[in-house]
């Protein structure tokens, strides 16, 4: 099946298992705000979803696109890991009220069908050439009628995440610089839609985790840098495609995160202890 799916088709698949009304209540939105699915029939655009060979969602043991299974140390034999989403955003610039998200990608580490989600997003503003030179996302690429605004993506994103969520467990979102960049941007987009991120979303900054890694012998000073490129070099992870596109950075972080959690002997409970509640980022905007 083609990796590109019409938005309406993907929405239909997700909505069949996640009723929109329940998702609206979960997100604290009323039907009069942004989650009326009928309004999206008027606009046609695409998102991308990818299937994996495995349909097993029993834990974090599924191998995805060459990404090795997560193996958290168990604090007890009854401990159950929840949903972990590695995500990345591309934006029109550094975080502030004048900049917007232009691309969003995420990967559910438990694998299975449609374990990834990515889409370009129309920021409804011009993108500076200095920014386009970094991520190859130009004004002409995203400021088009067939590219969704974040308000268009929001209901599908909520439905997608709910469809992947482990019952009774929070959703842990992991990004590199999540605390200072990706999570604040996500919270700001929700706020612009007059919505709040769900209370059971937690965010982990892999950059903060990397700061706890032991230093290596000084054979190469750059190896002690904590950006994704340096961490990939530290762990001997090859990056095939250019960085600074959302899904490529997500894939790289999945490999890096595996190594970091192993080096730090991090349990699922330990990862939870590193997490920041979604409400923190909502307060930052005020």
| List 44, 224, 244, 255, catalytic entry | 244
- Six token digits for residue 91: 């934006």
Q: Contact 46/6 with Cβ under 8 angstroms?
A: yes
Radius of gyration of the chain (CA): 18
Return the ∠ at Cα 61 (arms to 56 and 66), rounded to 5°.
95
- The alpha-helical segments, DSSP class H, found in 48-182 are 129-135, 139-142, 150-164
User: What are residue 224's phi and psi, to 5 degrees?
Assistant: -90, -5
- b/e code 173-199 from CB counts within 10 Å (16+ = b): bbbbbbbebbbbbbbbbbbebebbbbe
Longest dimension (CA), the chain: 59
149 secondary structure, DSSP code:
P
From start to end of the chain, where are the E strands? 4-6, 46-50, 83-91, 101-108, 116-120, 171-175, 201-205, 276-277
Active-site residue flag, 244: yes
Helix, strand, coil % (nearest 5) of the chain? 40, 15, 45
- Active site positions, annotated: 244
């Amino acid at each position: 099946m083609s990796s590109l799916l019409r938005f309406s088709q993907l929405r239909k698949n997700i909505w069949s298992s996640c009723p929109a009304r329940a998702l609206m209540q979960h997100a604290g939105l009323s039907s009069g705000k942004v989650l009326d699915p009928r309004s999206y029939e008027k606009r046609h655009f695409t998102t991308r979803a990818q299937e994996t060979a495995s349909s097993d969602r029993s834990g974090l043991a599924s191998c995805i696109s060459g990404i090795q299974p997560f193996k958290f140390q168990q604090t007890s034999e009854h401990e159950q890991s929840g949903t972990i989403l590695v995500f990345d955003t591309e934006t029109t610039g550094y975080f502030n009220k004048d900049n917007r998200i232009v691309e969003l990608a995420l990967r559910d580490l438990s694998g299975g069908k449609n374990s990834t989600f990515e889409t370009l997003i129309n920021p409804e503003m011009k993108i500076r050439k200095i920014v386009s030179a970094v991520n190859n996302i130009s004004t002409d690429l995203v400021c088009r009628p067939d590219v969704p605004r974040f308000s268009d993506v929001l209901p599908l994103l909520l439905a997608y995440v709910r469809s992947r969520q482990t019952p009774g467990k929070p959703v842990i979102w992991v990004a590199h610089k999540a605390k200072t960049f990706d999570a604040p941007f996500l919270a700001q987009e929700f706020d612009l839609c007059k919505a709040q991120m769900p209370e059971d979303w937690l965010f982990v900054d892999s950059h903060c985790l990397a700061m706890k890694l032991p230093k290596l012998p000084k054979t190469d000073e750059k190896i002690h840098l904590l950006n994704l490129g340096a961490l990939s070099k530290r762990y001997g992870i090859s990056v095939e495609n250019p960085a600074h596109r959302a899904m490529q950075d997500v894939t790289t972080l999945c490999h890096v995160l595996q190594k970091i959690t192993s080096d730090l002997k991090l349990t699922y409970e330990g990862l939870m202890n590193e997490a920041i509640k979604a409400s923190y980022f909502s307060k930052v905007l005020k």
